[in-house]
Amino acid sequence: MEKHTNTSHLLPYAQRPDFRVGRAPELSGKDRRLYRFLEILPGVAAWTTLLGVLWMSNYAPFIAAYFIIGFAIYWVLKTAFLSYHLRYNWKRLRHHLSLDWVTMIERFEFGHMYQMVVLPFYQEPVEVVDATLQSLADVRYDKKSIIVVLAAEERAGAHGQEVAAAMKEKYGNIFGSFLVTTHPKDVPGEMAGKGSNATYAAEQARVTILDPHGIRYNHTLVSIFDIDTVLYPDYFNCLIWHFMTAENPLKTSYQPVPIFNNNIWDAPAVARVVAMSSTFWEMVQQERPERMATFSSHSVSFQALYEVGYWQTNMVSEDSRIYWNLMFANNGAYNVVPLSYPVSMDVNAAATLWQTVKNIYKQHQRWTYGVENFCYIIYHFTKNKNIPLRRKIRVSLQQAEGYWSLVTNPIMLFILGWAPIFLGTPEFHQTVLGYNLPIYVRDLLIFAMFGLVISAVISLTMLPPRPKGKSRLNYIVLALQWVLVPITMILFSAIPGLHSQTRLMLGKYMGFWVTPKSRK
């Protein structure tokens, strides 16, 4: 478990020794057993479901068939339900992009606010970092109110230092402050990853910029961006509007829509579908904020971060864990506000298709390892008595359903839906039900695929301008690529998810894998 020598600035609940627990072995006694049980639970639930369907298909095919029909209908309705949210958020996103946010915030007094931008990076090429900083330099916001913290890693060697130096040289005078930090390697108790780098950088910024300049923590908004995050011009204006209008601005995280489209014209179809699917999922979540946790690039007040000791440094999915840290430390009185305003990020694409597939798999394995948050959430629900029981139940069920459906639904729909036909008893095979099952499941899935038409249309509107040399025919490919969804759902959602849950179940904990970034 992470050790903090001075914890007086932390909120009372954040001072608990188990507040920043990353995995079961960091605990002892009953707590350790409970946490270990929670780590085992998602994997067991997923495997029980999948093997249960196989078992039922073999020994109770009629019940399996009823279940599969019900499940296919559930999927159709879920698709329609989510498509409605997606379409609505698309409408809102476009509206937000069309607004003049400078005018929108001119009635607010926000001159005292500072924007701290934390940019952790590892071995990404200078072009990627440069594009991010250039977009930051191009925002419609007072640059002197922006504090840039370029967070390098010592383990990246000379490359990190060279990139940082070059960027400071180029952009150092544009912003109010430009701090380069270098996170030391091999810090005991830390996992090498974004969380430990960002935490180090934030503390360095506090010590070297905020405190010396008397900048108040509650006047500082921290935006932690992945290094490939390219900002739209009004990001900070939009953020300020939401900060000023939030019910409790210091107890709120602000989540933009990550659109993975920076290099979309150069990425293969499978990478584009996976990337846009991730974008769409975040868009859906934007319309149901009570289910949201922070993801990837997001913003939060420095005050809130300081009160929980910044990001956890001992686990993989620090981007969403920070929300749960804040939620528990504030006894449930903490929210996420969806900005419905985009930031552009990279599609996960490598030099070869096979390497792209491998990278996407690893990236999604890391993302789906967010199931470690499930253990954390349920564990702290048993510890924090100040959170209303109703919220505990609601969040627990939402999280359980989310992680369970992530790994089981695609496999059940596209593979196990046919299991009774192959595994069922002879009694089953000669029945009308046995013959109708594949027809009904197939027809329902085709019906559900109409949701993809919405996805295809929306994705076309979110494309960056077509580069020279790219044919108009690419638009047809970009629309038709959505037929890959059943494959990508299994290959890059269900299987890596199951892999992650199985590793957690077996206690084979994952480390942080940095997604390679490149630009052509």
Partner 1 sequence: MIPTPHVKPLPRIHRKLIFIASLILFVVSVPIFVFYATGYRFDFASDDASIKKVGGLYVSSEVSGISMYINDEPVTDMRTFQNASYIQNLEAGMYQVHTQSEGLQTWVKNLPVFAHFVTEAETFNIPQVPQIRLVTKYQTDTSASVLFENATSTTFAFASTTNIFFQATTTATTSYQLNEEYVQVQQLIASSTEEKTELVTIQEEKDRMSEPFNFDIPIPGSLVATSSQEKSTSTKQRDDVRLVQSQGDVYAQWIGRDDRIPFYYCVASTDASSTAAYYGEHVYASFVSEYGTTTDPFSKALVVAGRYCRSTIKIDRLWQSVQWFDFFPGSNDQVLMHLQDGIYVVEVDDRSWQNAQLLYPGHHLEVIVDGDRIYVKDDEYYLEIFIELQQ
Sheet holding 298-301, edge to edge: 177-183, 146-153, 114-120, 220-224, 298-301, 252-260, 335-345, 230-231
What's the closest the beta carbon of residue 53 comes to partner 1, in angstroms?
17
Q: Does 435 bind partner 1 (CB under 8 A)?
A: yes
Q: Does 161 bind partner 1 (CB under 8 A)?
A: no
Q: Does 103 bind partner 1 (CB under 8 A)?
A: yes
Q: Does 247 bind partner 1 (CB under 8 A)?
A: no
DSSP bridge partners of 119: 150
The interface with partner 1 within residues 279-298 (CB under 8 A) comprises 286-289
Which of 109, 439, 469, 508 is in the footprint of partner 1 by CB under 8 A? 439
Helix (H) or strand (E) holding 114: strand 114-120
What's the closest the beta carbon of residue 88 comes to partner 1, in angstroms?
5
Beta-strand pair 146-153/177-183: parallel
Which of 163, 437, 505, 514 is in the footprint of partner 1 by CB under 8 A? 437
What's the closest the beta carbon of residue 293 comes to partner 1, in angstroms?
17
DSSP bridge partners of 148: 117, 178
Here the tokens at position 515 are: 């997604």
Q: Does 402 bind partner 1 (CB under 8 A)?
A: no
Q: Does 237 bind partner 1 (CB under 8 A)?
A: no
Q: Does 246 bind partner 1 (CB under 8 A)?
A: no
Which of 20, 26, 38, 96 is in the footprint of partner 1 by CB under 8 A? 96
Q: Does 445 bind partner 1 (CB under 8 A)?
A: no
Q: Does 480 bind partner 1 (CB under 8 A)?
A: no
Here the tokens at position 453 are: 């038409």
Buried b (16+ CB within 10 A) or exposed e, 481-503: bbebbbebbbbbbbbbbbbbbbb
Which of 34, 60, 104, 400 is in the footprint of partner 1 by CB under 8 A? 104
Instruction: Give me the sign of the Cα torsion angle 163, 164, 166, 172.
Output: positive
Q: Interface with partner 1 by CB under 8 A: which range of 135-143, 168-176, 312-320, 432-440? A: 432-440
Q: Contact 232/257 with Cβ under 8 angstroms?
A: no
The interface with partner 1 within residues 44-73 (CB under 8 A) comprises 65-66, 69-70, 73
Q: Contact 64/420 with Cβ under 8 angstroms?
A: yes
Whose Cβ is closer to partner 1: residue 141's or residue 178's? Answer: 141
Here the tokens at position 231 are: 């900002």
Which of 81, 422, 450, 475 is in the footprint of partner 1 by CB under 8 A? 81
Here the tokens at position 7 are: 């914890």
Where does residue 469 fall: left (phi above 0), alpha (psi -120 to 50 degrees), or beta otherwise?
A: left
Q: Does 95 bind partner 1 (CB under 8 A)?
A: yes
Give the residue among 311, 197, 298 at the shortest CA–CA distance from 252: 298
Binding residues vs partner 1 (CB under 8 A): 65-66, 69-70, 73-74, 77-78, 80-81, 84-85, 88-89, 91-92, 95-96, 99, 103-104, 107-108, 244-245, 286-289, 338, 340, 425-427, 429-437, 439-440
